[in-house]
Amino acid sequence: MNILGVSCHYHDSAAALIQDGELVAAAEEERFTRKKHDSGFPSKAIAFCLGRGGVKLGELDYVAYYEKPFLKFERILTGCVETFPRSGPLFRRAMKAWLGEKLWIKSRLSRALDLPAERVLFCDHHLSHAASAFFCSPFEDSAVLTMDGVGEWASAALGKGEASWREGGRQSLVLSREIRYPHSIGLLYSAFTAYLGFEVNDGEYKVMGMAPYGEPRFADAVRGLVKRFDDGSFKLRMDAFAYHYDAERSFTGEFERLFGAPRAPGARFVTRLTSLYDDTAAPSSRELEENQRFADVAASVQLVTEELVLGLAKEAKRASNSKNLCLAGGVALNSVANGRVWREAGFERVFIQPAAGDSGGALGAALYAYHALLQKPRRHVMTRADWGKSYSAGEAADALRALGAGFEAVEDEDKLLDRVAQLLKDGKVVGWHQGRFEWGPRALGHRSILADPRSEKMKDTVNIKIKFREPFRPFAPSVLSESAASYFELGGKPTPEAARFMLMTMPVKDKKRAEIPAVTHVDGSSRIQTVGPEGDALYRKLIARFQQATGVGLVLNTSFNLKGEPIVNTPAEAFATFMDSGMDALVVGPCLLEKGKNQPSERRRTWRSSEAPDKSLVL
Amino acid sequence: MPETELPEPLRRAKAVLHAFFSFEADVLLAAFYYLALAPTAWLVRLSGRDGLGLKDAPTGWTAREAVDPAEHMAGQG
């Protein structure tokens, strides 16, 4: 039984293929088209998934789409009517997009996949999120909580899943309550993302990274925008927000009255705690003061978001009385909030699958069809995130040769690991391209840039010389699962499942902070990825080898891309990114390249997204 | 034929046509917006309907109806 899940037409288009309940392949379209957050029809991701599964066009049993387009269209029309006459530009943009493409997704899928229309299924947006987490989790029963910007009408939902591994067992996933648009944690956070000068649906994690530089002195002002109820639910004070009628702006003048003038996009962010690195322009006291205000606003919205998420999670606990929680939706990528849920909401175990945002809906829709619709027993637990395309050693060598790269093929795995561990120990920054690329926004040891976490300077080096991004951005560690408790405050609990996918932030132990400064954020926290025996064997061996060499059982791991670009897919993309950055070495399969033997002569990159991102949050 | 391979006059003509139809679409949609949505919006306001949940309520939750998976997955709405 082959079921393909598809998500598209909002952001982060993706496809996922399950065969007899086992996940075979899953990928975001951006990895193939090189357009970050590509929202187009995911032709290339679909072709990859079908190819990986050996499925020809017309051979699929079902295709499941991740939301209900007519319900979403109804919500947009209702919003335009109820906010008339302010919604004119939003209405025109929405009609062009919806009448031109989005309403016809059923026939598009039917034609593209050569399937009769009755084999095209639709799953509610939040149900797709919920299924993507619950049916990939190790739990037979679990509370389920989904939170994002908005789907059709819902922006958050809670319910319960009960599903069995036995033939004939009950397979049930029910969302019993929802919070409806325009009241939304995701849209609240995105409005502040825009206020702080970042792109919505992209820069939210930058707000999260900026928050620890500030004090939440505006928390009461942010709380004033939200009416909270005792049952964990909330409503927003909509006079401060514009996203429900404006295609360009997400907040009103009320924001400026409360928080001051917004931050200019692209402006330098510098506070007394941020690094200037090689920037010779010392900040004025006015610049420091202004930036501290932005950091304080970021800290405030982050704190209130954590309070809202925690309120919903505690309600999920109260309503389900389950020991387990599955989280999904874009808000479940907020690793700081996730860490608080794990520590404070009363659940023993918390599972989040790596593509918790909209791309994950493709997987969830397919799993919902297999388990809830067809009542098939569970077959799959997601313990690893490498579901994308891989390249053989021969393909890697051919691609590098074609680009004129000088490399050494180190076929002996032990020798390769020793060489890389030594490079890291010597303070070199290494591009690591191995196996299948990851599912979701995090690089987890397959398309990663690795460095020594012990170096104070390494954070600045990787931010500025390697990735050309803002110096305030933090880095995460990949840590051997058995070493995690030595470095991080786990409160005596076993490491949560979500930490495998770098989706939880933990405090670094006081006595260890000086030992691993490059992966300790300014507030002493760290967004950890645990690498256990169930994970990638080669990556685990590399970290172990680094531990043997240095005594430290973790490495700095950041995604293999430059600022504003999708994570690399092919060996050629890895080489181009290596040559365009300050990385010292690159490992593609067994091929080891060092910068000295590969002098940059011209820009190698042949792709670059030229499309302006859509600023609308709700279409 | 890709845009870059078109002769210059054809490329210009295409751009003019595209701008014209885009403008036409904007005019038609604006006309529809003011002629059709205006009375609808007033009727909605008169009826007191609260489609966006902006009025006071005792909770932010809305109950979801139980769904039959087969029925649920068959439709787009």
Top-confidence residue, A273 or A597: A273
Domain total of chain B: 1
Q: Tell me, what's the ipTM?
A: 0.90
What mean pLDDT do residues A4-16 have? Answer: 96
In angstroms, the CA A431 to CA A69 distance is 41
Concatenating the DSSP letter of every residue in A257-318 gives HHH-SPPPTT-----SSS--TT---PPPHHHHHHHHHHHHHHHHHHHHHHHHHHHHHHHHHH
Task: Read off the pLDDT band of B4 (50, 70, 90).
Answer: low
**What is the reported pLDDT for A608?**
41
Q: Give the HSE-up count for residue A321: Cα atoms under 13 Å, Cβ half-sphere.
A: 0
On whether residue B33 sits in a domain, the answer given is yes
In angstroms, the CA A544 to CA A391 distance is 25
pLDDT over 90 at A410, yes or no: yes
pLDDT digits (tens, 9 = 90+) for A136-166: 999 999 999 999 999 999 999 999 999 999 9
What mean pLDDT do residues A273-280 have? Answer: 76
Q: Which residues constitute the domain of residue B21?
A: 1-53
**What is the reported pLDDT for A381?**
96
Say if the Cβ atoms of A91 and B57 lie within 8 Å.
no
Task: Read off the pLDDT band of B2 (50, 70, 90).
Answer: low
pLDDT over 80 at A599, yes or no: no
In angstroms, the CA A183 to CA A200 distance is 17
In angstroms, the CA A537 to CA A413 distance is 12
Which residues of B fall below an 8 Å CB-CB distance to A? 25-26, 29-30, 33-34, 37-38, 40-41, 44, 51-54, 57-64, 66-67, 69-70, 72-77
Q: What percent of chain A has pLDDT over 70?
A: 97
Residue count of chain B: 77
CB atoms within 10 A of CB A613: 16
Sequence ranges of the domains in chain A:
393-597
pLDDT digits (tens, 9 = 90+) for A84-126: 999 999 999 999 999 989 999 999 999 999 999 999 999 999 9
pLDDT over 60 at B1, yes or no: no
pLDDT digits (tens, 9 = 90+) for A328-372: 999 999 999 999 999 999 999 999 999 999 999 999 999 999 999
What mean pLDDT do residues A424-453 have? Answer: 98
**What is the reported pLDDT for A602?**
53
Residue A448 distance to chain B (closest CA, Å):
36
Chain B interface mutation, best of A84, A147, A309, highest count of B Cβ atoms under 10 Å: A84
Task: Read off the pLDDT band of A614 (50, 70, 90).
Answer: low
pLDDT over 80 at B35, yes or no: yes
On whether residue B45 sits in a domain, the answer given is yes
Task: Read off the pLDDT band of A605 (50, 70, 90).
Answer: very low
What mean pLDDT do residues A464-484 have? Answer: 91
Across the interface, of A70, A105, A368, the residue whose CB is closest to B77 is A70
Amino acid, single-letter form, for residue A268: R
From chain A, the residues in CB contact with B44 under 8 A are 81-82
Across the interface, of B44, B67, B70, the residue whose CB is closest to A81 is B44
pLDDT digits (tens, 9 = 90+) for A549-576: 999 999 999 999 998 899 999 999 999 9
Contact A38, A201 (CB under 8 A): no
pLDDT digits (tens, 9 = 90+) for A496-543: 889 999 999 999 999 999 999 999 999 999 999 999 998 899 999 999
Task: Read off the pLDDT band of A274 (50, 70, 90).
Answer: confident
Angstrom distances, CA of residue A400 to CA of A560, A562, A608, B67: 17, 20, 20, 53
Contact A484, A288 (CB under 8 A): no
In angstroms, the CA A453 to CA A551 distance is 12
Amino acid, single-letter form, for residue A110: S
- Please state the three-class secondary structure of A215-274 as a single string: CCCCHHHHHCCEEECCCCCEEECHHHECCCCCCCCCECHHHHHHHCCCCCCCCCCCCCCC
pLDDT digits (tens, 9 = 90+) for A332-344: 999 999 999 999 9
Pairing of β A430-433 and β A585-588: parallel
- Please state the three-class secondary structure of B11-51 as a single string: HHHHHHHHHHHHHHHHHHHHHHHHHHHHHHHHHHHHHCCCC
**What is the reported pLDDT for A445?**
98
What mean pLDDT do residues B4-17 have? Answer: 77
Q: What token pair was written down for B13?
A: 């003509």
pLDDT digits (tens, 9 = 90+) for B46-73: 998 888 988 888 999 999 998 899 999 9
pLDDT over 50 at A8, yes or no: yes
- The per-residue pLDDT of chain A, averaged, comes to 94
Which CATH number applies to A393-597? Answer: 3.90.870.20
Task: Read off the pLDDT band of B3 (50, 70, 90).
Answer: low
Residue A537 distance to chain B (closest CA, Å):
39
Pairing of β A476-480 and β A525-531: parallel
pLDDT over 60 at A306, yes or no: yes
pLDDT digits (tens, 9 = 90+) for A33-73: 999 999 999 999 999 999 999 999 889 999 999 999 999 99
Tell me whether A175 touches chain B (CB under 8 Å). Answer: yes
A143 bridge partner residues: A160, A325
H/E stretch holding A211 reads: none
Reference A234, options A312, A294, A158; nearest CA is A312
Contact A122, A64 (CB under 8 A): yes
